[in-house]
Each structure stands twice: as structure tokens, then as C-alpha cells.
Amino acid sequence: MKLFTSFQTHFGVCMTYEVINTLVNSCKNEIIRFLQDLIRAESYNPPGNEAKVAKVIADKLQEVGIEYQIIESAPRRANIIFTADFGGSKTVLFNGHMDVVPPGDLSKWEHDPLSAALVDGRVYGRGATDMKGGLASMIMSIILYMRSEALLKETAGRVIMAATADEEMNSDYGLKYLADVRGDALRADYAVIGEPTGINGMGKTLVIGEKGDYELHVKIHGRKAHSSIPSLGVNAVELACDFVHNLKKLKLPKVKPPIPEHELIRRFAAKAAQIKDTSFRTRLTEYIKALTENIYSATMISGGFKANVIPDECEVVIDFRVLPGLKLEEVTSAVKELLNDLGIKEYGITVPVVFEPSVLEGGGELIEAVREGARKYYGDDPVVTIGSGASDARILRNKLGIKTVLFGPGYGELAHSDNEYVEVEDVLRATKVYMYVIHNLLSRSKNSRL
Ligand SMILES: [Zn+2]
């Protein structure tokens, strides 16, 4: 009996693999066309214009008979949500942003950034990698899933798709807005964001956490005086320089990186061995270091207004890239302590930019589902890692408490670059992985055991 069950399970898994594979391959042209339509809908942010992309998605959903909701956060700024309900409460959320960064100097583009030109198995255009490729894959994975009787009868649960605005700025009109006004519509057990997580030549990564970004503006005050008798004043520029010189003495609390450095080195080493370029390895070493340390730099300084006046104000901007676990208050109090140690009494601190760090807590089953899918359809185990930059995952994890990972088509290094492209094969594979993830996490037999 036991043997029979395991045979059944194994047989089932093989069947699922084939069903998904065949379905996606047979719909290749439909997927590419949809991706091209998404790229051609201009959504440069600033200013945004995501409503144009939402319209392309809405048209597609109308064509296949799926209901949706468009939630406008401002004129021309839109978010679009739809749900595939297979009966059952377990819920997977797919999220992706519809805005893209502006193309910059057009003369540097070989194909127009809005052309979505299909050349040698690649689709070119602004956002192809970041992240209209991921959007196309996620949305098509749900549409195709709903077409398969074989998959549907094994599935119990819900899939929500939320295509959102404004991720390239700070999500005020996108996921942050949506979480505030429609948090109920986003409630899910698991989330996958389809940001590009490939590294060219090294395969895919699966990103389970990300560093945060705190931008501290420290304004140091002094006292004006004539520069012929500087001792009558207090020179804010000199105090600020003293502060910058001593920044390395900042006593930040120790936090453990989510994945230790030696472990990341081990995980990346096997893949990096295939790459001959030694400068790549140096960059990789620096990258791994950045993922395991709190990093900060004084990035801007401004003070003084006339050559013969002792300046009474000088502002230093320090950009902190922090590991999950390091709180903003801990950073500001360490800065205050240093200022105090240096005898700088008059100052003000403002923090206009805060991207909280975040990390997946638990969620082993989500990691396994994506990992298995990637293994099957990319033929390679993705490196489970954390990310150096911020994404909307922080909102899903920290604000909505959803177990969230990033996995998607495209190479991270092509995001925001000239001649951005995504490989068609990558988009098809990611579509298959997402379908596999739905099947795995919402499997009827698995959920009935829970
Ligand atoms: Zn992105």
C-alpha cells in the first residue's frame, strides 16, 4: 500500500511537470505577445502612468473572462488586483510592479525602449527585465492554470495577483497605498514577487530577505563670525569634517546576518567556478560582504555660503544600508553618541528616506516550492540568498506579515540599464515555475493533511 502511494505521488508529480510544460510551450506566442503589450504601455516613473499597463492587463483578463479591480491611487496611477479562487482558504499572492525607470539617453538604445523588439530569442525594452517579464509570467501562469482541468482538480486555495504602481520611487501610490486601503484584498499565506533574480552566467537566485536603507541628514550648527577673527564663531564646516572623519568609530549594535558570509560564499562558489572572468569574482566577493554587514557612507556634504564668513551650518548625509534586525532608532542613537563624544552639541537629525530591512521568517515550504520548481524547469538549484536593495517585499513582510520571496525572470544586472532585455526562454520557464508553485502550495492532498 505504501509503495503504491509513493508510486502514485511520483506519477502525479511527473504528470504535473508535463502538464505545465506542455501548456506553457503551446502558449508561447500568447505569452510573448502579452509581454510585448506590457512593455509598449509606457509607464516611466517619474511620473508613473501605470494606468496604461493596468489597461493592458485588464484587456487580457477581459479576453479570458477573469474579473478584476482597478484601484486608482492618483490620476494616471493605478493598481490592479484579481483573484483565482479554487475553493479553500490557503492563499498565494503574486506581486509585481508596473512602473519602470525612465530610459535615459535614447541614443544609447539599439532598439527603441518601447518597441518590445523580439530579436534572437530576446525581448528588448525598458522594463523587459525589471519587471514586465515577471509580470507577464505571473499573470499568464494564473491564466494558464485556470485552463487546465488536470491541475484544477488537484488544487484547493486562492491565488491573488496584485500588479502595483510606484515601486521605483517609494511605493506611496502602489503597494503602500494598497496595503492601507485594501489590505484585506492582499491577505495571503505566501507571496512571490517576480523581480528579476537571475545573475548572468550563474543561474537563478531565490531572495528571502533584503537590506534596508536609512538616509540620515545630520545638520550641524555653529555660529557665524567674520573669517578674520574665526575664534569669535563656531565653524560648522570644520565640525562636520571632524564628524565625517570619525564616522568609522560609530558603535552600531551587532546584528547577525540572515545568512552568514561563509555560507553565502559556499552557496555561490560552485556557480562562480564556471565563470572565467576574475573581475566578476572580485565583484562577487564584495557583493557577498555587502550582504552580511551593515554599511554606511557619508555621501553628501554642504555648508557655508560666503568665503569670508565662518559658517554656522553644515549638513552631512549618511546613507546606511542595514541588515534585518538593525532598527532606525539604534542607528540614530549611535550617531548621537558619536556627535556627543566629539563634543558636537548643536545639531538636528532628519531621516527623509526609510526603507526598512526585512527577512522571511519560517516559510520553509515556500522556499522549497520555488526551489523545486526552479530545479525542474531551469535544471538548476537556485542560490538562496538575500538582496542588497529594497523591494516591495518589505511591505508584504513587515506591514502585512506575509511570508515573501523574490524569484523571477531576467538578470538583476540588466535592471535600469540601456538595451534592457529579457530572454523569452526565461519568461517561459518562470511561468512554469509559478504554476508549479501554485500547484505545490495549494495542492488538494497537501492541504487536506493540514
Ligand atoms: Zn523592480
Spacing, Cα 410 to ligand 1 middle (Å): 11
Spacing, Cα 232 to ligand 1 middle (Å): 53
Cα dihedral 222→225→228→234 (10° resolution): -20
Reported as a pLDDT band with limits 50, 70 and 90, residue 448 is: low
Q: Is the pLDDT score of 310 beyond 60?
A: yes
- Residues near 212 by Cβ (< 8 Å), separated by ≥ 6? 320, 321, 322, 323, 324, 326, 354, 355, 356, 357, 358, 390, 394
- Residues near 85 by Cβ (< 8 Å), separated by ≥ 6? 158
Q: Which three cell numbers stand for residue 156?
A: 484547493
pTM over 0.85: yes
With 0-12 CB in 10 A as exposed, 13-18 as middle and 19+ as buried, what is 164?
A: buried
Per-residue model confidence as pLDDT tens digits over 47-105: 999 999 999 999 999 999 999 999 999 999 999 999 999 998 999 999 999 999 999 99
Rounded to an integer, the average pLDDT of 137-152 is 97
191: number of CA atoms within 13 Å, CB side? 29
Chain Cα centroid distance, residue 155: 28
Spacing, Cα 136 to ligand 1 middle (Å): 14
Spacing, Cα 349 to ligand 1 middle (Å): 30
Which domains are delineated in the chain?
Answer: 2-209+357-449 (3.40.630.10), 212-255+294-355 (3.30.70.360)
Spacing, Cα 248 to ligand 1 middle (Å): 32
Spacing, Cα 225 to ligand 1 middle (Å): 49
Spacing, Cα 396 to ligand 1 middle (Å): 15
Spacing, Cα 193 to ligand 1 middle (Å): 9
Q: Is the pLDDT score of 225 beyond 60?
A: yes
Q: Which three cell numbers stand for residue 66?
A: 477573469
* 318 closest CA partner among 222, 212, 214: 214
Rounded to an integer, the average pLDDT of 343-356 is 96
Spacing, Cα 196 to ligand 1 middle (Å): 7
- Residues near 327 by Cβ (< 8 Å), separated by ≥ 6? none
Spacing, Cα 434 to ligand 1 middle (Å): 18
Spacing, Cα 379 to ligand 1 middle (Å): 25
Per-residue model confidence as pLDDT tens digits over 381-427: 999 999 988 999 999 999 999 999 999 999 999 999 999 999 999 99
pLDDT score at 1: 40
Spacing, Cα 58 to ligand 1 middle (Å): 21
Spacing, Cα 48 to ligand 1 middle (Å): 14
Spacing, Cα 307 to ligand 1 middle (Å): 45
> CA-to-CA distance for 437 and 422, rounded, in angstroms?
22
> CA-to-CA distance for 213 and 354, rounded, in angstroms?
6
Q: Is the pLDDT score of 227 beyond 70?
A: yes
- Residues near 318 by Cβ (< 8 Å), separated by ≥ 6? 215, 216, 218, 247, 296, 297, 298, 299, 335
Reported as a pLDDT band with limits 50, 70 and 90, residue 272 is: confident
User: Taking the alpha carbons of 83, 84, 90, 95 in that order, is the dihedral positive or negative?
Assistant: negative
Q: Is the pLDDT score of 293 beyond 90?
A: yes
With 0-12 CB in 10 A as exposed, 13-18 as middle and 19+ as buried, what is 130?
A: buried
* 318 closest CA partner among 296, 302, 338, 303: 296
Spacing, Cα 394 to ligand 1 middle (Å): 13
